[in-house]
């Protein structure tokens, strides 16, 4: 396990089966850096592997019906059905029990992203580190809304917008949808459809 290094997908595909010395023959500095990295033992990988097998053995103790498989088998199952490489499709292709015809047309995964609950930073700073805004208020909610809530609105900005809201003391909110940010929406036109829980949900 001393011949691995981090590579982006684009570079990894461009390299293919070429020897690293041949692939980076015109970039000796990068080549030397990678060769030095290859000689280092992968302590983190060893820790992950031991944790993974310990978890596997613990699950077996519960008598649960589960299956494991190699990364190569997962890739084989996925490529046999011409499926794109995504986390959820990889999970569906793990192990020998993967069906020969995997129907994914009726499946829509729920994508969850951790967004946090705000920041402890009291003021925004410029590139020199000096404050460029006034200190933010300790109060997080205004007019019953808090930054991060999913809202739907109708008002002077003609249309209906669904997305995360950024609140202000003035009651003039911004709503960030999947495609745009709509500014200056009055709070009285907003309706909460999901409370702020620190996560963003999409399908």
Alpha-carbon gap, residue 100 to 80, rounded angstroms: 8
The per-residue pLDDT for 187 is: 73
For residues 68 and 57, is the Cβ–Cβ distance under 8 A?
no
Residue 21 has pLDDT above 50, yes or no: yes
The per-residue pLDDT for 1 is: 42
Residue 150 has pLDDT above 70, yes or no: no
- Give the tens place of pLDDT for each residue, 117-126: 667 777 888 8
Alpha-carbon gap, residue 53 to 57, rounded angstroms: 6
Angle, vertex CA 103, rays to CA 100 and CA 109, nearest 5 = 125
The per-residue pLDDT for 166 is: 77
For residues 160 and 176, is the Cβ–Cβ distance under 8 A?
no
Q: What is the pTM of this model?
A: 0.44
Write the CB contacts of 121 (distance below 8 Å, at least 6 apart in sequence). Answer: none
Section 172-190 average pLDDT: 77
Alpha-carbon gap, residue 112 to 199, rounded angstroms: 7
Residue 10 has pLDDT above 50, yes or no: yes
Mean pLDDT of the chain: 77
Residue 141 has pLDDT above 80, yes or no: no
Residue 91 has pLDDT above 70, yes or no: yes
3-state secondary structure of 190: strand
Name the band, by pLDDT with cuts 50, 70 and 90, for residue 32.
Answer: confident
Domains of the chain: 1-66 (no CATH), 68-109 (no CATH), 110-203 (2.30.30)
């Amino acid at each position: 396990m001393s011949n691995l290094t981090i590579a982006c997908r684009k570079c990894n595909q461009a390299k293919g089966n070429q020897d690293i010395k041949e692939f980076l023959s015109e970039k000796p500095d990068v080549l030397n850096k990678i060769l030095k990295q290859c000689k280092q033992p992968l302590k983190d990988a060893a820790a992950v592997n031991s944790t993974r097998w310990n978890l596997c053995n613990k699950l077996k103790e519960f008598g649960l019906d589960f299956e494991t498989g190699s990364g190569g088998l997962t890739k084989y199952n996925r490529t046999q059905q011409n499926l794109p490489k995504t986390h959820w499709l990889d999970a569906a292709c793990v192990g020998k029990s993967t069906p020969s015809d995997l129907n994914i047309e009726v499946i829509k995964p729920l994508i969850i992203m951790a967004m946090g609950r705000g920041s402890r930073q009291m003021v925004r700073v410029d590139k020199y580190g000096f404050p460029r805004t006034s200190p933010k208020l300790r109060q997080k909610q205004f007019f019953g809304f808090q930054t991060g809530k999913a809202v739907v609105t109708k008002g002077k900005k003609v249309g209906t917008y669904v997305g995360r809201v950024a609140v202000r003391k003035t009651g003039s909110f911004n709503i960030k949808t999947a495609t745009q940010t709509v500014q200056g929406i009055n709070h009285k036109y907003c309706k909460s459809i999901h409370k702020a829980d620190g996560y963003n949900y999409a399908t």
